[in-house]
Structure 1
Amino acid sequence: MCGITGFWNPSRKNEREMRFVLDGMLDVLDHRGPDERGSRLYVDQGLALGHTRLSIVGLDHGHQPIEAEGGDYAITVNGELYGYKRIRTELACESLECSGKSDSAVALPLYLKHGLSFVERLRGEFAIVLYDHREQRLVLVRDRFGIKPLYYAMNDGGIAWGSEVKSILKHPDVPPKLCPKAAIHQMMQVMVPGSTAFEGVNALLPGHMLIVQRDGDRLIAKQTRWWDLEFPTSHESNPNPDEYVAGVKERLIDAVATRLEADVPVGCYLSGGIDSCSILGLATTLQQSPVKAFTIAFDSDAYDESNIAKLMAERTGAEQELLRLTEKELYGPAFERATWHAERTFYNTLAVAKWHMSRRVRACNYKAVVTGEGSDELFGGYPFFKQDWLGRDDDGGGIFAGAILAEEDLQHPDWMDLCGFTPSWIQPWMLTLKRVRPLLSQELQDLLVEYDPVGEVARAIDADQVRGRHRLDISQYTWSKTMLEGQILTWGGDRMDMANSMEARPAFLDHHVAEYAVQIPPEIRIRDGVEKWVLREAMVNVLPRELYERKKFAFMAPPAHTDPVKRQAIQEMISHWMTPERVSKLGVFDGDKLNQFIDDAWNETDGTIARRNDIVMNHALQLHLLHGQYVEGLPLPVVD
């Protein structure tokens, strides 16, 4: 697990200048790779490759960039490539040598053998930048689900890239500027796939590669898809549930076993949910020694599931590390640091909690954990998936209402055209946008006359992968193309984990598991109204009975409105960061309307509306934080 960055500016060939720029881009990625730093300059090309390393596999043999054939080929890799020992052996039998014994070392020989199709032979979570000097070609690759981040900015001068946006913003051709359209998308929580909070900076789409070809002093780029989560146009009739239960069990065992391989100890994240408990149960059986399990506990019974996690830890004999978090940890300096690492706003302080958890993991001398992300996406775990197929439950959404479920049914023409219905997962964010609109500055009000953010997200989805599919498949696919990558795997995943030099390995997002899961008929994914039924049955002998029978729980941190102490903590941050001068400088909000909204929000008694107000306040606060941190260059606070 590492950080990668670099640039290609064909008309700039001053070695001293190139080194100075690359060093600045690497400096802000130290947290991703504190163990080692490497670089390679092609001065005659104006091209620089940089790498910061977190050593997990091949501790003494993983220096990057990796080169071949006298430097005609060079590669940097961020992530984990599983099955590398078998690949290395197969390559050796064909007289293709790997440079070193780390997992990353197999990527370049595979490219030399298979060309651009080499990526299809990789298993794991990865982002790759490869330079082919003979072809005058640069290739940026991102894994199937976007578990590992990779961003780029391209203009007339060339291209800059990085594992995090902050490294690209250190390049002199990419000034830090927040994008007004992206600000609106952040306020409604849903980003357009491929976009970021900053003007001119793009995210490479999951399962895609960007091929950059030199043409004189110009660079020509083309983004192409090499993998997708492809649901079938029809499912098996009268399926045998036992067959699918066995298939899930077999593939998940293999995925967890694969992710336990490392040259350092590997632990597990453990919430009280089916997903992480399944991972821990399997890891316990696969490991020779007790597994270290890391759990977050909140000071609110409505949002805390640590009691179930404790039960699972006791059942498996895991060594549990329990981290209890209150308003002191969820707001203030940690909130500010989490925002800087996220590089975008987040609706709930779960991101801050994840930052604290990765910090605790490293304090316990662990660099890697296996996690449960992706299970809900593949097996229909979220309540909005069930709602799209089977209709609304009678409970009104509970604490999901306002944050995960809308309290009313909404439609949008672009989503109706794409899907035949408006997915339930985007409806609460449509209501959030409705709440935000009156608070925006006149400039953004004018922008929204011609720009439809909800429709823009729909237009970013490949219609060919949606039309003709089952409603459940459509709901799962559209969520996975937007919120999985843009939320769960970024500010809820990699960005908070790697903030403290810690690698997360989501076993459910192994592509062998995923490609099997999409073939499972909907009535087996959700059976008799029970979400993730097939996974529950596959793990029935692993999970405690209390968890096996339990409905989906909301893994969120308690919102500020639930506690007067938390309310005071966020109000102090709002008073500091959202002064009239700062609000005016950012230019996103009408200051008077925003202040009135905040005053009214603290008096709201309807729980659903109060949760939505909390979301709006978080996003508004963080937009001002991002402007201060990245545009104004204000220093980050120290966290005790």
Structure 2
Amino acid sequence: MCGIAGILSLAPEARVEHDALCNMAAQLVHRGPDDAGEYLDPQGRCGLGFRRLAILDLETGNQPIGNEDGSVWLIFNGEIYNFRELRQELERCGHRFRTRADSEVIVHLYERDGDGCFARLSGMFAIAIWDQQRGELLLARDRFGKKPLTYLVHAGRLYFASEAKAILALPGVPRELDPQSLHRYLLFQYVPAPHSIYRGFRKLPPGCFLRIRAGQAEAPEPRRYWQLPQPAPFDGSYDEAKSCLTERLTRALEKRLIADVPLGAFLSGGIDSSIVVALMHRLGVSPLRTFSIGFPDARYDETAYARIVAQRFGAEHREFTVTPDAREVLDKLAWHYDEPFADSSAIPTYYVAKCTRQHVTVALTGDGGDECFAGYDRYRAAQLAARLGVLPGWLGSAAAQLAKRLPRGRARTAGSRAHRFAAALREPPARQYLSWVNVFTPAMLAEGYRAEFRAQLEFDEPLAWFERLHAAAGGGAVERANRVDFVSYLPYDLLTKVDIASMAVSLECRCPFLDHELAGFALSLPVGWRLGKRILREWAADLLPRAVLTRGKMGFGVPVGEWFRGELRDLLEQNVLAPDGICSHVFRADWLGALVGQHVSRRCNLEHPLWALLMLERWHRTWNPRV
């Protein structure tokens, strides 16, 4: 796991400068504290910068790495789990290796397969390849978007890096807020690729690569080498599917145990992370180290279940408790995420990563289990809404009116969930599902925006993007919702959260459930077998404690709603209601005041919108982009 950065000359007068390359790489030392390296093309056309977190081949795995004659150079962030098989294949074709690193395998695979090499890789990666003879740079990201890559064309050069801060550190690089991306953020709690909060910046989408020649005036559009499959339906029995699941899960996890440094696992006490720990134990990992995060608020605390699992498998288990004093980490997160990011579980993710890094360098996680095995409660909501959709319209209207009267002052209560569900029953399916995952509803934003800010926007553009994803997903209500999450929430929220929070403390996280072959198998199963993780729970019946298998889904949340009514109320008001803040530039002051007032008075629970505004304000004060 590492940080990468680079520059490509797009004009004869804009040659690559070594100092600029080193400056970019220096901003990424948290991603790679163990080593640094640079490559500069002899003609000044391309430069590659690298910061290394040593995981494999500790002695000779440094980058940038080239082929035998120095005509191809590579830097990459991530891990390739099938590199040994690919190496053997390439050796049979006559390629010779001088290291044991997975990075060298990519170099030789590119020599043989060109841009077809990316589809052969199993793992997580952001890659940059400089082909000196062709004068071409290739950038690529892994299928699900586990590893980030952002770029900017400016002043005759293309700049790229793992994180935007490496580009923003350069003198003369514009730092200007894109109003349309701010609008996207307020709807989704993230800015989806290819967009960026900074005007002119772009993020390479998952499963895509970009090929650009030195001297080319503009960057072309990325090309897709992979997309989420719609596999042929599984044609075996339920018991046969469980047998296949044993094989695929075990293989996926075993590949992710390859490391020359200590490793452990995040353990929430949920079924996904518990399965990861159970399989690590079955595969003989010793010592088996596990790490959990907890809260004083019992509605959010899962540590009791994590302890049960840890005791079951004899793990060396450690816990960390997050309190409202977490305010001290907000500016740190605002700096690390580069963009406003409104998933409040970034706080516990950062803290558990920090605790974990004191003991290991690699941590396995249960991320992706809810997507592969349809575990989110909102999938059942989508199924129920589809069934209710055939009823007369007046019933939906009556349900929506009834929902408005339900108590909804606290999060994670039956009233708040029922209100969120019923309020969207009259919406079309895509808007309906969006209403269950968004931060602000479109109606709230339309009411709250200042007229001068609203005039800058294509208001319906992000909504149309989401509707296109939903329409392209195919299948019934559950399948559509599930596939939309795979290409939106998963890469732009969940995986972004984990990558940035873990790499902030130089910890590598690996996700066995997001093995692309395992995911393809899961998607081939009937949705009824997957919904609520049915097949996964029954598969694990003899493996996990019953208390874990039968518990309800909690999710990795944070009690910010109560914090905003208590210890963090002053922080909230000082930021969100500040007359000179970004929130007051975007929203009407009376509307902001009412939003805060409704929440602190417990008339309704608005913790998610308020958290999004707080993090927007902290991001803006940290990075100070021109508005």
TM-score surpassing 0.5?
A: yes
Q: Which residue of structure 1 lines up, in the alignment, with residue 623 of structure 2?
A: 630
Matched to 1:267, the amino acid is G
Give the direction of change, closer, same or farther, for the CA distance of 1:220–1:338 in structure 2 (3 Å limit): closer
* Secondary structure of 2:174's aligned partner: coil
Matched to 2:336, the amino acid is H
- What does residue range 413-428 of structure 1 map to in structure 2 within 5 Å? 421-422=430-431, 424-428=433-437
Aligned equivalents of 1:273, 1:338: Cα separation in 2: 25
Q: CA deviation at 1:441?
A: 2.4
In the comparison of the two structures, how many residue pairs are matched? 605
1:602 correspondence with 2:600: yes
Q: Which residue of structure 2 lines up, in the alignment, with residue 379 of structure 1?
A: 373
Matched to 1:501, the amino acid is S
Q: Which residue of structure 2 lines up, in the alignment, with residue 212 of structure 1?
A: 212
Matched to 2:70, the amino acid is G
Instruction: Provide, for residues 340-384 of structure 1, a one-character-per-residue CA deviation record: whole Å limited to 9, x for no partner.
Output: 2122334343101111111111222x1110101001111110011
Q: CA deviation at 1:387?
A: 2.0
Within the candidate set 519, 529, 547, 1:524 is matched to 529
1:480 correspondence with 2:486: yes
* Secondary structure of 1:210's aligned partner: strand
Q: Which residue of structure 1 lines up, in the alignment, with residue 421 of structure 2?
A: 407
Aligned equivalents of 1:378, 1:60: Cα separation in 2: 37
Within the candidate set 245, 248, 251, 1:254 is matched to 251
Q: Which residue of structure 1 lines up, in the alignment, with residue 542 of structure 2?
A: 541
* Secondary structure of 1:309's aligned partner: helix
Aligned equivalents of 2:11, 2:593: Cα separation in 1: 49
TM-score (ref. length: structure 1): 0.88
- What does residue range 143-154 of structure 1 map to in structure 2 within 5 Å? 143-154=142-153
Instruction: Provide, for residues 21-55 of structure 1, a one-character-per-residue CA deviation record: whole Å limited to 9, x for no partner.
Output: 11221121110000011111125243211110000
Matched to 2:459, the amino acid is Y
Q: CA deviation at 1:231?
A: 2.1
1:327 correspondence with 2:328: no
Q: Which residue of structure 2 lines up, in the alignment, with residue 616 of structure 1?
A: 609
Matched to 2:524, the amino acid is Q
Aligned equivalents of 1:246, 1:488: Cα separation in 2: 29
Q: CA deviation at 1:57?
A: 0.6
Instruction: Indicate if the aligned counterparts of 1:66 and 1:74 stay in contact, CA closer than 8 A.
Output: yes
Aligned equivalents of 2:459, 2:44: Cα separation in 1: 40
TM-score (ref. length: structure 2): 0.90
Aligned equivalents of 1:120, 1:139: Cα separation in 2: 14
Instruction: Indicate if the aligned counterparts of 1:6 and 1:49 stay in contact, CA closer than 8 A.
Output: yes
- What does residue range 314-353 of structure 1 map to in structure 2 within 5 Å? 314-328=311-325, 330-331=326-327, 333-353=328-348
Instruction: Provide, for residues 378-436 of structure 1, a one-character-per-residue CA deviation record: whole Å limited to 9, x for no partner.
Output: 111001112222449999994487689823253798xx5xxx65452544527534334
Instruction: Indicate if the aligned counterparts of 1:180 and 1:588 stay in contact, CA closer than 8 A.
Output: no
Q: Which residue of structure 1 lines up, in the alignment, with residue 499 of structure 2?
A: 494
Q: Which residue of structure 2 lines up, in the alignment, with residue 287 of structure 1?
A: 284
Give the direction of change, closer, same or farther, for the CA distance of 1:426–1:205 in structure 2 (3 Å limit): farther
Q: CA deviation at 1:157?
A: 1.8
Give the direction of change, closer, same or farther, for the CA distance of 1:229–1:107 in structure 2 (3 Å limit): same
Q: Which residue of structure 1 lines up, in the alignment, with residue 361 of structure 2?
A: 367
Q: CA deviation at 1:305?
A: 1.0
Aligned equivalents of 1:236, 1:309: Cα separation in 2: 33
Instruction: Indicate if the aligned counterparts of 1:441 and 1:588 stay in contact, CA closer than 8 A.
Output: yes
Q: Which residue of structure 2 lines up, in the alignment, with residue 458 of structure 1?
A: 466
Instruction: Indicate if the aligned counterparts of 1:152 and 1:201 stay in contact, CA closer than 8 A.
Output: yes
Q: Which residue of structure 2 lines up, in the alignment, with residue 638 of structure 1?
A: none
Instruction: Provide, for residues 507-562 of structure 1, a one-character-per-residue CA deviation record: whole Å limited to 9, x for no partner.
Output: 00011101111101112112xxxx11111122222211111122322220112336
1:196 correspondence with 2:196: yes
CA RMSD of aligned residues (A): 2.8
Aligned equivalents of 1:52, 1:412: Cα separation in 2: 51
Instruction: Indicate if the aligned counterparts of 1:213 and 1:221 stay in contact, CA closer than 8 A.
Output: no
* Secondary structure of 2:240's aligned partner: helix
Q: Which residue of structure 1 lines up, in the alignment, with residue 166 of structure 2?
A: 167
* Secondary structure of 1:580's aligned partner: coil
Aligned equivalents of 2:282, 2:6: Cα separation in 1: 42
Q: CA deviation at 1:156?
A: 6.4
1:429 correspondence with 2:438: yes
Q: Which residue of structure 2 lines up, in the alignment, with residue 115 of structure 1?
A: 114
- What does residue range 227-266 of structure 1 map to in structure 2 within 5 Å? 227-232=226-231, 235=233, 240-266=237-263
Within the candidate set 333, 353, 359, 1:358 is matched to 353
Instruction: Indicate if the aligned counterparts of 2:14 and 2:156 stay in contact, CA closer than 8 A.
Output: no
Give the direction of change, closer, same or farther, for the CA distance of 1:230–1:29 in structure 2 (3 Å limit): same
Give the direction of change, closer, same or farther, for the CA distance of 1:371–1:405 in structure 2 (3 Å limit): farther
Between the aligned residues of both structures, percent identity stands at 29
Q: Which residue of structure 1 lines up, in the alignment, with residue 3 of structure 2?
A: 3
Give the direction of change, closer, same or farther, for the CA distance of 1:7–1:563 in structure 2 (3 Å limit): closer
Instruction: Indicate if the aligned counterparts of 1:13 and 1:46 stay in contact, CA closer than 8 A.
Output: no
Q: CA deviation at 1:445?
A: 2.4
Q: CA deviation at 1:100?
A: 1.8
* Secondary structure of 1:251's aligned partner: helix
Instruction: Indicate if the aligned counterparts of 1:406 and 1:431 stay in contact, CA closer than 8 A.
Output: no
Matched to 1:95, the amino acid is G
Aligned equivalents of 1:400, 1:76: Cα separation in 2: 50
Q: Which residue of structure 2 lines up, in the alignment, with residue 268 of structure 1?
A: 265
Instruction: Indicate if the aligned counterparts of 2:151 and 2:160 stay in contact, CA closer than 8 A.
Output: yes
Aligned equivalents of 1:348, 1:455: Cα separation in 2: 20
Q: CA deviation at 1:442?
A: 2.2
Q: Which residue of structure 2 lines up, in the alignment, with residue 637 of structure 1?
A: none
Give the direction of change, closer, same or farther, for the CA distance of 1:34–1:192 in structure 2 (3 Å limit): closer
Instruction: Indicate if the aligned counterparts of 2:576 and 2:592 stay in contact, CA closer than 8 A.
Output: no
Aligned equivalents of 2:142, 2:355: Cα separation in 1: 27
Instruction: Indicate if the aligned counterparts of 1:11 and 1:157 stay in contact, CA closer than 8 A.
Output: yes
Aligned equivalents of 1:453, 1:222: Cα separation in 2: 19
1:388 correspondence with 2:382: yes
Matched to 1:482, the amino acid is S
Give the direction of change, closer, same or farther, for the CA distance of 1:623–1:64 in structure 2 (3 Å limit): same
Deviates more, 1:385-394 or 1:297-306: 385-394
